[in-house]
Structure 1
Amino acid sequence: MAHRPVHNLFLLFLFIQISNSYSSNATSSIHCIASERQALLDFKDGVEDPTGRLSSWVGEDCCNWRGLTCDEITHHITRLDIHNPDPLNDDDDFPYNQGSLLGKVSPSLQKLKHLKYLDLSGNYFGNSSIPVFIGYFKHLRYLNLSATGFIGNIPPELGNLSRLHYLDLYSPTYGLYLDDAQWLSGLSSLLYLDMSRVDFSGLSDWLPILNMLPVIREIHLYDCSLEIIPKSLSHINFTSLSVLDLSNNYFNTTIPEFLYDIISLEHLDLSWDAFVGPVSAAIGNMTSLKYLGMSGMKIEGSLRRVMRSLCNLQTLHLTHSLEGHNLAELKEMFNGCIKDSLEELHVGDNAFAVPFPDWIGDLKHLKVLDLSSNRLYGPIPASIGKLSYLQILQLPFNEFNESISESLGQLQELIDLNLGINNFNTILTEEHFANLTNLKKLNLQESSLQLRFDAKWIPPFQLEVIQMRSCQLGPKFPPWLRTQEKATFLDMSYAGIVDSIPDWFWNVTSHVDTLYLNNNEISGKLPRSPKFQLNADVVIDMSSNHFEGELPYFPSNVVELYLWNNSFTGPIPPSINEKMPKLAYLSFAQNNFSGHLPESLCNLTELVVLDLSENHLIGEILDCWERAQGIKFLNLAGNNLFGGFPRSIGSLKSLQLLDLSNNYLSGELPEISMNLTELHTLDLSRNRFTGRIPIWLGESLPEMKILNLRLNQFVGAIPSQMANFTNLHVLDLSNNHLSGTIPRSFGNLEGMKKTASERGGGGEFDDSTSKELVMTMWLVTKGRYYAYDKLLSLLTFMDLSMNNLSGRIPNKLMDLSGMNTLNLSGNHLIGEITERIGLLQLLETLDLSRNKLSGPIPLNLSSLNFLHHLNLSNNNLSGRIPTGGQLNTLLDPSIYEGNPNLCGVPLLRSCPGDEPSQQNKSRTVDGQEGDQDDTLDEILLHVFVILGFLTGFWAVSSILILNRTWRITFFRFTDTVYDKIYVITVVNINKIKRILSHKGLIKN
């Protein structure tokens, strides 16, 4: 459950007594009422019971059935408790647990008129409302309908339950709402109320009504869409109230003064309620407070003195509520008696930009300290060792950049240590862990820490969670891990390990259900049958290493298996569905697997991701995909597959990304579109598909964002229906045999009118569980092939080059204002380049070469400030080449060659009326020897500047060769710089030649 405080001792004692009072006597003979027994059987018939929790409901005496209690004298059923003991599930896509009873609540239960205790919680009676007849169980004292999937308005008949002590209607799926709170006033005996995530929106009288409940002790209204809270109450009736949870609502006002008058409160949670303004000094009157939640508020004014008298306060939440304050203010606050009582302090996400404060070491009873997501810097000081009771230390997402005191190793009670996402750049040794005998969770990920332990060191702890992503653990495999026999989660990715896996490691993993060893340089073969946890779903990521040999037999409970970018060989096991029937995420990309695709892949009914790209697989693509209806990501690119496009792919209703590129597939595309309503990325490039581009591509794929049909043998006209792709932002139809004109309707491609931020990205695989599952697509930009993966979502791209297209370039194409790349080269396009091309303000690459375009180059081409690559060569353009703006940096004459009627810079062809420059005139007149010396100096200056720049440039670039992600991003930028350097070099060499020729040092 998302947020439900523990019940106080009074309620626990009370309900234990109620439970005991009506518990059945195993030794006595009690016979239930026949009509009530039949009512229970009718209920049982109306529900599914997947785990058999109602299996004992057989025989004549229902008083002995599980979950039932009868009165010893009257034999009436007084207790019905069939709650689901499994933890609650807050996932909206799966709103119930595997152990839930499913179905409807039979109206026959209204015959149980003597019920005093009813608990149906944790089951799922979805798409039905709370039965009205429950409101007529006049003896009811305990009612728990939490997380039952009920929807609709809560029936006001529940207000008849005047004897009710406990009411829990918590609705994790937000299905219940309240349109009138008046009935709550009838619950005159109520001690405990939980209506968290019930929609109260629009109600203004909820609090005065609750104030009428004379003995209420706990009120939980977490996340109820409450918007209105009164500024005052005429009378405070909450004399017994000890717990008030109003967190995650929308009050957007100051804290009402009357709250400070409820001095009986021990637990007050106002977190994330949009409260603003100062905290009143009256809070000092709430001396009973043990828990105070004020996270997410905008606290104004000082806290130095207002809380100093809260001598019983044990837990304080001030996360994201103290921006503009500083830790020095809290120091004075903790000088009071609160210093001796406080056990939990949560002050994360407050932008504190100071070193770790020494005074925190004076909070001697602190058990939980959360300073995460601030801007703390410097070292972790020795004062941390004073917190001898500390159990949880959370310091991630800060800017610590120095050492960590060895006194950390003295925190014997520490259970959970999180130093991740920092920049310590220091070394941890055995001393930092010397006495951490209770440590269970260790998170050092992305912290720039090096772990240097003696090879014989035996840690004092047994870790359950080990997160050390991007720490320096290598080059050898860490021998201390050998002792960690209770680990269930182990992340040693990007850890600099250059070694083989020792045999003992597989004893450690026998308890592990999540393993990340990816992005190291681990080599060798895996054991034939690696050991992992048997009683949980297993996730394994060993991608980007140097593993070799055939695929081992992983356990049958593996659900995610990532082995991409290794050197595995041999065939994919033909019985893979039998060996790992629960597989949902499978990536064997970039290995050396060979042979045919086994048909058993289609029998992996849980499959969501299948990536077998960049291997040596042969044969035809399987045509049995209708069995694997859950697939969202299917990538078979870069193999040696042949044959036609499988029709069964058209049955994959959930498919989002499909990549069959770089194979030998042929034939026409079949009519398969009816069910592909989720498909947003399709890459069929570098195959041998023939025929026309089907019209259904534009008519039946509403989510299409990225379409690549490059390097095939498609013929005919481009279907105008492709303009229906309202989200399309990457389109590559180049290197086919397409004819006809460019559809004017392409100007309606809404996705190309937006920037990446306006689109919200695009083309990425929409599943947070996936690990770096991004399709790599080869596209031509700036005249070169580039591999795009994660950057695809940022690209707005159209390439129709190398076809037989004719006619004019549609003016409406200039409406695609988000365009980065436009390539129409190698066609038969005619007419002038429109002046409207200046509207493409984000254009980086424009290639219109090898067409039959005529007329002048538009002057406003110079206004395209992002233009890095331009090619207008081999057309019939005429007139002066425009100058100014970005065009002054595009000085390679080859981008204009093949246009005999063009003139001006950078061509060595003057336009009519051009005058020789004054500089050339003076050089013609003056032929002194001294000018030769000036010329040589100028030559040397140009040469050394160019060489110096290139040397520095490639020095930086070589460093990035080791990091693939940086390399792709960085070289996109540096390629532009390279182009500019090349052009400058060519221009200056030509200039030097002209100078030397003028001086007679060389001949033209």
Structure 2
Amino acid sequence: MDCKAIIRALLLFLSLAYATALSCPDSEREALLKFARDFNQTAAGFSPWEGNDCCEWEGVECDNRTGHVVHLDLQGRPFAGSKFDPSLLRLKQLSYLDLSYIDLACLSIPPWIGSFKKLNYLSLSSSNFCGVVPTQLGNLSRLQTLDLSGNNLTLSNADWLSQLTSLLRFDMSRSSIENTSNWLLALNMLPLLQDISLARCEFDNFPHSLPFVNFTSLSLLDLYGASLWDFSNNSKVNSSLPDWLFRITSLQYLYLTESGFTELIPFAIGNLTSLKVLELESVDLDAGIPSSLSNLCQLRKLRLLFSTINSQLDTFAELFSGCLQNSLQELDLRFTSLSGNIPDWIGNLNNLRILDLSENSLSGSIPASLGKLPKIRKLSFNDNKLNGTVSESLGNLNELISLGLSSNSLVGVISEYHFSNLTKLEYIDLSNNPLVLNLSHNWVPPFQLSDLDFSGCKLGPQFPSWLQTQKPLNYLDLSSTGISDSVPNWFWNSMTNLSVVNLANNELHGVLPNLIKFSDDPELSIDLSSNFFEGPVPRFPSNTGQLYLSNNSFMGPIPDDIFQLMPNLRVLSLSMNKINGRIPVSICDSQLISRISISNNHLSGELPNCPNHTTYLEDLELSNNSLSGGIPKWLCDLPWFQSLHLRENSLSGELPSSLKACKSLHTLDLGGNMFTGRIPIWLAELSSLKILSLKSNKFVGQIPTELSNLTALHILDLSDNNLSGPIPISFGNFMSMRTPLNYMCDYFPPLDSYYNHGSFYGENMILDIKGREDLYGCDLLSQMTILDLSRNSLSGRIPDELTNLLGLLVFDLSSNDVMGQVPSKIGNEGEAEGPTIGQSSQTPTNVSENADENRKEILLLCLITIAGFAVGFWAITGVLLVDKRFRIWWFRYVDSLYDSLYVTSRVWFARLKKKMSKINTTDG
């Protein structure tokens, strides 16, 4: 054998020997397998532990020289046992142990974990550990990181903490620290400690002083949401920040958001000259921001959002001058009640990357001084009262990534020059401003956007062809922008990254293609409502989650397989079109659908029968069609079903008893059908009902007294039936009609338009008040209290018990055979409308104001009426003279405004007529 062959053989032997040496010891492999019996090793995302070499197993690492297991990471593995097996103690060389996010059933921390002498990293975070932290953890003298956060733990003995002399990072967030007064002293004895996280902790003792401060290495202190707590009364105790905190001169990161220790931010905060990040969100700053903040020459990030400042922004010029002017990189003052103009001194913050002043009361223009921010990446003034112009100097911000100016009253022209150097812009929101976007049809933008929102601005009349250059575009809102054009084919086929498309409230027209290509996002939302699209209802991408096509001219039947083709569909709105045919049976195959509106069309036939159907359906709106038959049983088998609108159809028969199963139903509108029989007593079992309309049917017999058990009911309309007998005395017990309503409407995404900027709209409904039908939106609908029993054959006296209904706004008994007067005290401060016997006059009431005051109100009302007529006349006439593309928006705006004013005026006139009756009595 030659020399080379010998050397090769020797190297092969050594490599095999070295590989064998690196294999984990059998005892450690067996220990791991025994410990892992209570873990699911085949869970999704994890590889099973197989083979002889445990060093190759997922989550296991061994020492390169010895082969001993030194690192064990079981983070996120599901645990099903009743306790931890101590076999893990065989891993004598273990230095890293992660048992976080394993979802234990409130097990205690096993004391034997304190026996790992070489452990330097231990994380038990967010695993649902319960009970008292064992003192044996104090034996881990080499420990550098201890993370016990996110559990249900209590620290009741802190002596062991002082033994962790190597500790660098300590996290006990979301824990209870009680029955121990020395926890702070124990931490103060750890000379190397850098990070302390006690976020959301509850203390029964939070020392305000220390004999000496030993936190010479402390860099981070997190007291987010932490608070002093009275455990005997289970209540929070307000307290001020402790003195020792402002003597930690090494502190760089301080988080006090929502902290219970921030009654007042003291002047001493200026002593923390090493601070880089200061978060004081959701604290009371009415006493002002301490001027000593100007001493923090290292401060890069200042977040005060949701804190109450109540000052004009320009008063802080001195605070943000000096060294802070050069260090600050992020300034977040959202929701701080700031007012006044945007001051020029902001342009001097030359290192600023993020400036967010949204959700305040700032006014005036976007000043030119902002164009001097050379490093700004995010600029946001959303939801203020800005009413001036936007300076073209914004075009100088070549580092800008995000620009938000939405929901203001900004005016003037936005030209291409505003965007001239914004080469890095990705997000832009100018929505809800009367801005004119003067951008040429063939403009080539310098940026590539992912989010674009111009809703409410004037962009039209042409469809912007420059959009096809925006390949990354994911969110697009061009609703109410005055576009009067057809949508080019390239839009439907080349905008393949779009996941939100909103072109609503324009004058777009044409026939939609079937082969629309947008992103693969399973939550794809398309809103084409309130345009002039026509033709058959097209087939949309299979991943469509929300589809709004209401208020167009689509015609023909709904595709039979629409719900099969769009299995992700959650919201479908096809209302106010020219659709005929039947409701597709494929609705029975839809698993995720939650809201359907196909009202105001020409649907016919019966509602589909879907036995054994399970879905998330909450709201079904099929009013104003020609549907026949009855109400299918399967609707009330749905656990989340809340709202059923079947008004103005040709449904017939008696109300099915299956409706008793609709325990979550809060709106039942069956008016304008041909239902017969008696009003069933079991309706009183639908305890969640807030609105019940059975008007204009063929119900007979007496009104069930049990309906008064519906304590949440605030609209009851039984008018225009063949009901007879007396008005139930128990109707005086309607709890929601006894006081004026003061709750908001039920919030969920709108059926007739995609919700914008987080604003949610609830359902709407047509109400008939004294013969006039109007559509009431969620906000008005939630405030209405109505009892309408008109146009029946009711008899007997009007119960005095109805005087309990002090919150009643509309009360109508007209066209009945009742006797006597309507009780004078019915309604909200005498504001309810109601007739005397069989008439349509107003209810007489007792009014305390004298006749002179009443005459002044009448005169004032006359003057307002005359002025209102003049304004209304020229508003309507003027809109007919302007550009056609404004007309639809204007009329819709006026119509919604009218709805609001109509309800207010009805109440006012009701009150006024009663006062006039008092005047006649006084004069007589």
TM-score grouping bracket, smaller chain normalisation: 0.7 to 0.9
* CA distance in 2 between partners of 1:970 and 1:844 (Å): 17
Task: Indicate the larger mover: 602-611 or 320-329.
Answer: 320-329
Q: Secondary structure at the match of 2:352?
A: coil
- Identify which of 454, 477, 493 aligns with 2:479: 493
Verify: 1:863 aligned to 2:859, yes or no.
no
Equivalent in the alignment of 1:929: none
Equivalent in the alignment of 1:743: 728
Equivalent in the alignment of 2:145: 166
* CA distance in 1 between partners of 2:719 and 2:589 (Å): 37
Equivalent in the alignment of 1:825: 814
* CA distance in 2 between partners of 1:48 and 1:721 (Å): 57
- Identify which of 285, 288, 307 aligns with 2:293: 307
**1:780 to partner: Cα distance:** 2.4
AA aligned to 1:968 is D
What are the within-5 Å matches in structure 2 for residues 517-596 of structure 1? 517-596=503-582
CA contact (8 A) 2:380 2:405 kept: yes
Equivalent in the alignment of 1:761: 744
- Identify which of 889, 893, 897 aligns with 1:966: 897
**Which runs of 5 or more residues in structure 1 are unaligned?**
1-23, 85-100, 866-881, 892-942, 985-1004
* CA distance in 2 between partners of 1:661 and 1:157 (Å): 70
Equivalent in the alignment of 1:132: 110
CA contact (8 A) 2:311 2:339 kept: no
**1:680 to partner: Cα distance:** 0.8
**1:425 to partner: Cα distance:** 0.9
Verify: 1:670 aligned to 2:656, yes or no.
yes
Q: Secondary structure at the match of 2:199?
A: coil
Equivalent in the alignment of 2:666: 680
What are the within-5 Å matches in structure 2 for residues 981-1000 of structure 1? none
- Identify which of 74, 88, 95 aligns with 1:112: 88
**1:344 to partner: Cα distance:** 1.5
Equivalent in the alignment of 1:43: 38
Distance 1:28 1:159, change over 3 A: closer
* CA distance in 1 between partners of 2:20 and 2:736 (Å): 71
**1:328 to partner: Cα distance:** 4.4
Distance 1:568 1:434, change over 3 A: same
**1:621 to partner: Cα distance:** 0.7
* CA distance in 2 between partners of 1:529 and 1:202 (Å): 68
- Identify which of 714, 718, 727 aligns with 2:703: 718
Verify: 1:232 aligned to 2:218, yes or no.
no
Equivalent in the alignment of 2:50: 58
Q: CA RMSD in A?
A: 3.7
Q: Secondary structure at the match of 1:601?
A: helix
Distance 1:409 1:154, change over 3 A: farther
Distance 1:820 1:69, change over 3 A: same
* CA distance in 2 between partners of 1:662 and 1:968 (Å): 21
Task: Indicate the larger mover: 731-740 or 951-960.
Answer: 951-960
Distance 1:454 1:350, change over 3 A: same
Structure with the larger RCO, 1 or 2 (CA within 8 Å, 6+ apart): 2
- Identify which of 284, 291, 305 aligns with 2:277: 291
* CA distance in 2 between partners of 1:599 and 1:972 (Å): 40
AA aligned to 1:816 is L
Q: Deviations over 1:586-642 (max 9, x none)?
A: 222222222222221121111211222222221111121642332111122222111
Verify: 1:505 aligned to 2:491, yes or no.
yes
Q: Deviations over 1:631-665 (max 9, x none)?
A: 11112222211112211122112111111221111
Q: Secondary structure at the match of 1:487?
A: coil
**Which runs of 5 or more residues in structure 2 are unaligned?**
1-17, 229-237, 880-889, 916-924
What are the within-5 Å matches in structure 2 for residues 48-197 of structure 1? 49=43, 52-71=44-63, 77-83=69-75, 101-102=77-78, 104=80, 107=83, 110-113=86-89, 114=91, 115-121=94-100, 123=101, 125=103, 127-129=105-107, 131-132=109-110, 135-136=113-114, 138=116, 139-148=118-127, 161-171=140-150, 176-178=152-154, 180=156, 182=158, 184-185=161-162, 187-197=164-174
AA aligned to 1:966 is L
* CA distance in 2 between partners of 1:727 and 1:400 (Å): 41
CA contact (8 A) 1:264 1:286 kept: yes
Q: Deviations over 1:257-309 (max 9, x none)?
A: 21110011011122332555664443333221111223333346675751333
Task: Indicate the larger mover: 351-360 or 721-730.
Answer: 351-360
**1:338 to partner: Cα distance:** 2.1
Q: Deviations over 1:882-902 (max 9, x none)?
A: 9999799999xxxxxxxxxxx
CA contact (8 A) 2:787 2:811 kept: yes
CA contact (8 A) 1:710 1:735 kept: yes
Distance 1:125 1:644, change over 3 A: same
Give the TM-score, by structure 2 length: 0.85
CA contact (8 A) 2:468 2:495 kept: no
Equivalent in the alignment of 1:870: none
CA contact (8 A) 1:513 1:533 kept: yes
Task: Indicate the larger mover: 840-849 or 336-345.
Answer: 840-849
Distance 1:833 1:659, change over 3 A: closer
What are the within-5 Å matches in structure 2 for residues 638-717 of structure 1? 638-673=624-659, 675-699=661-685, 701-717=686-702
Distance 1:430 1:241, change over 3 A: same
* CA distance in 1 between partners of 2:380 and 2:754 (Å): 27
Q: Secondary structure at the match of 2:167?
A: coil
CA contact (8 A) 2:42 2:48 kept: no
AA aligned to 2:211 is S
* CA distance in 1 between partners of 2:891 and 2:666 (Å): 32
**1:247 to partner: Cα distance:** 2.2
**1:70 to partner: Cα distance:** 3.2
Equivalent in the alignment of 1:419: 405
Q: Deviations over 1:453-504 (max 9, x none)?
A: 1223211111111122212111211222121110111122222222111122
**1:681 to partner: Cα distance:** 0.8
Give the TM-score, by structure 1 length: 0.79
Distance 1:807 1:164, change over 3 A: farther
Distance 1:617 1:302, change over 3 A: closer
Distance 1:847 1:602, change over 3 A: farther
Distance 1:231 1:31, change over 3 A: closer
Equivalent in the alignment of 2:231: none
- Identify which of 289, 294, 304 aligns with 1:318: 304
* CA distance in 2 between partners of 1:696 and 1:976 (Å): 34
**1:190 to partner: Cα distance:** 2.8
AA aligned to 2:61 is T
Distance 1:766 1:886, change over 3 A: farther
AA aligned to 2:279 is G
Equivalent in the alignment of 2:831: 843
CA contact (8 A) 1:661 1:683 kept: yes
CA contact (8 A) 2:23 2:54 kept: no
* CA distance in 1 between partners of 2:335 and 2:19 (Å): 55
AA aligned to 2:806 is S
AA aligned to 2:478 is M
**1:721 to partner: Cα distance:** 1.7
**1:722 to partner: Cα distance:** 1.2
CA contact (8 A) 2:831 2:911 kept: no
**1:821 to partner: Cα distance:** 0.6
Q: Deviations over 1:548-572 (max 9, x none)?
A: 2223232222222222222222222
Distance 1:328 1:737, change over 3 A: closer
Task: Indicate the larger mover: 641-650 or 501-510.
Answer: 501-510
**1:129 to partner: Cα distance:** 3.7
Verify: 1:806 aligned to 2:795, yes or no.
yes
Q: Deviations over 1:772-822 (max 9, x none)?
A: 664443322244222223221110000111222222212111101100011
CA contact (8 A) 2:114 2:138 kept: no
**1:59 to partner: Cα distance:** 3.4
Equivalent in the alignment of 1:878: none
- Identify which of 619, 644, 653 aligns with 1:633: 619
Q: Secondary structure at the match of 1:196?
A: coil
**1:212 to partner: Cα distance:** 4.1
* CA distance in 1 between partners of 2:845 and 2:290 (Å): 62
Equivalent in the alignment of 1:928: none
**1:229 to partner: Cα distance:** 3.3
